[in-house]
Amino acid sequence: MQDNERLSRVLPKSSAARDVLYPLATGLAQLPWDAGTLRSHLKTRLPQPLQHLAAPMTRVLIRAFPGSAAPDAPRIVSALAHTGSAAQLRDFARKTQTRPAPVLALPRFLPAPPFADIGLPQLTSCAELEDWLALPPDQLIRFADLRSLSAFSRDPFGPHYRHHLIPKSDGRLRLIEEPKPMLKRLQRRILHGLLDRIPVHPAACGFVPGRNAIQGAARHAGEAVVIAFDLADFFARIPFARIYSLFRALGYPRAVAMHLTGLTTSTVPDHILQMPGLAASGALSVRHLPQGAPTSPALANLCALHLDRRLSGLARSCNATYTRYADDLTFSGDAAIAPLMLRAVPQIISDAGFRANPAKTRIMPAQGRQIVTGLIVNRHINIPRRTYDRLKATIHHLARPDDARRSDRAFLTSLSGQIAWLEQVHPLRGHRLRNALAAALG
């Protein structure tokens, strides 16, 4: 969608926005987002009799967009449109029959201060993004699919995603959106060439290089109480606009940020949305982070940064520990923390743009079994007995020559991965299962 199309949704075509504010906004959108820079820029752009408006206009913008990255020009126009400054600019333009000249400067890579020195690829145009992704020009438009045409294509080769419905424990269906090979290759390039360079909050333990569920669970071992919360429909509730704002904060100009967002978000076809029992159907009805894309966990972690900061601060205030593994939030500490967490955490989750799942909130005192991301943490990290027994029984059945799973390479790979995970927690038991599997397959 072009800037002018977006602007027309904000204000009428005949308004001061299109005539006066928009040329100013295009320059402001390419500046470091701090009061001094904005005020100085406005003084150079405003006519001499109206230069005193630079200060009030700057105050409006900093109040409307308190972050450290510049918003898009249409959002700047929207913030200024109904102010007294806009009225004075419009009146001056009518009297003098003049309009501010448009800014002709090329788009810039301008990351917010926290991202300035982490080595992100400096992409300022779609041509540079195409080169970085090793794509011909027409293919960037195709795979970013900003108009969501692929989701509604009647051509069986048109859609960019395969859709899988997985039963959940509550009887509903979870949607897995698996990108097809070419799009998956592009997403992996974005993941490893861009997103992996961005540090995430120390409390985030899932899908972060060098961290895992075992390390996260270990932080809660031996505590008087463990409290678990769950984020409902974690990926589906992160919409296109939130991912776009993230790429803008990383420094990418509008066109580049739009196409990066297009490459990493998806639209669900109507026939999938209409499936009976589909979980999160409301959230899935708008363009969102797809559960199943390689970029989605990293983007979700970055979108949850504000949530992690607030919940970590809450935990510190009562000498508790906080970790997050994807949509699983865990606190531990003295038994006295429970009432505070039950009151404060759901509100913080809501304020951060997510939704808690009350059915999965659990309080686990030390007198009972305390489980974090599938691991027992009462005194030290351990595997639940039923997990070990299930793996042992599976291997026992594999010893039968007529078990079809013996030749199922995907199943055996998955089983080996489960044993490897157990080996990290309990090496002796894992070693026994590894030997038993080798013997069963003979």
Structural contact between residues 126 and 257, judged by C-beta atoms closer than 8 angstroms:
no
Given a cut of 90, is residue 9 above it in pLDDT? no
pLDDT at 16: 60
Q: Which region among 131-135, 422-426, 432-436 has the lowest average model confidence (pLDDT)?
A: 422-426
pLDDT at 421: 87
Quote the percentage of the chain above a pLDDT of 70.
96
Quote the percentage of the chain above a pLDDT of 90.
78
Average pLDDT score over residue span 318-345:
97
pLDDT band at residue 409, thresholds of 50, 70 and 90?
A: confident
Average pLDDT score over residue span 365-373:
95
For residue range 68-94, what is the model confidence (pLDDT) as tens digits? Answer: 889 999 999 999 998 999 999 999 998
Tokens 């071992």, residue located: 221
Given a cut of 80, is residue 303 above it in pLDDT? yes
Average pLDDT score over residue span 314-343:
97
pLDDT at 10: 42
Q: Which residues contact 104 (CB under 8 A, 6 or more apart)?
A: none
pTM, whole model, 2 decimals? 0.87
Given a cut of 80, is residue 307 above it in pLDDT? yes
Tell me the average pLDDT of the chain. Answer: 91
pLDDT at 360: 94
Average pLDDT score over residue span 335-349:
97
pLDDT band at residue 270, thresholds of 50, 70 and 90?
A: very high
Rank 56-65, 156-165, 166-175, 209-218 by mean pLDDT and report only the highest: 56-65
For residue range 123-171, what is the model confidence (pLDDT) as tens digits? Answer: 999 999 999 999 987 899 999 999 999 988 888 778 999 999 999 888 8
pLDDT at 17: 66
- For residue 300 the two structure tokens come to 């979700």
Q: List, in sequence order, every residue forming a beta bridge with 174; answer none if it has no partner.
A: 166
Q: Which residues contact 238 (CB under 8 A, 6 or more apart)?
A: 288, 289, 299, 300, 303
pLDDT at 5: 41
Given a cut of 50, is residue 362 above it in pLDDT? yes
Question: Could you count the other beta carbons within 10 Å of the beta carbon of residue 356?
Answer: 19
